[in-house]
Amino acid sequence: MSLPLYSRSIRNIKLARLTRTPIVSSSQFTPSLTRQLHTSPIRMSDSSKPKNDSEWRAVLSPEQFRILRQKGTELAGTGQYNKFYEDGIYSCAGCGTPLYKSTTKFDSGCGWPAFFDALPGAVTRTEDRSLWSVRTEITCTACGGHLGHVFKGEGFPTPTDERHCVNSVSLKFAEDKNVKNE
């Protein structure tokens, strides 16, 4: 019996969360991305159950916990990756899942790192109605860590006309000079 497409997608997302692997097709695994997946400093445990707050507090700094797990925001202009432009991969600080290539990062002037696109399946979008407005929250698909928000139609000269406004605290960077050539 075949499941409807929607049910299969939900099942695949749940399976990816259980195995702590990003939802990326095998054709998108370049040698450098594969290397990054296996050398990330912080990885999710192999446990099939999600971490509770005390387990997250044990592996995250207080600021990382506030932002990744409690949906906080770092002060504009204070993050280490705001004006950082090296070649490599930005991964989730909570679980090590690759999220963004440096080739998608741009200077939006907003005070936070800005990207115009994420690696396929790495980021989940959710409607956020906090702060008296409707925004789109972005989280790590693998661990649910809060990354920031995505904004559309602001007129930036990027291929997607989107700005992923991401907290630096939510990211870890790994240098990879091959990213620019992929």
**83: CATH:** 2.170.150.20
Alpha-carbon span 87 to 174, nearest angstrom: 8
Alpha-carbon span 136 to 28, nearest angstrom: 25
Under DSSP, the state recorded for 74 is P
Strand partners, 152: 162
pLDDT greater than 80 at residue 27: no
| Residue numbers of the domain that contains 46 | 5-181
Examine the residue annotation and report whether 165 is marked as an active-site residue of this protein.
Answer: yes
pLDDT tens for 49-74 read 688 999 999 999 999 999 999 999 99
Number of domains in the chain: 1
Catalytic residue among 92, 95, 140, 165: 165
pLDDT tens for 93-128 read 999 999 999 999 999 999 999 999 999 999 999 998
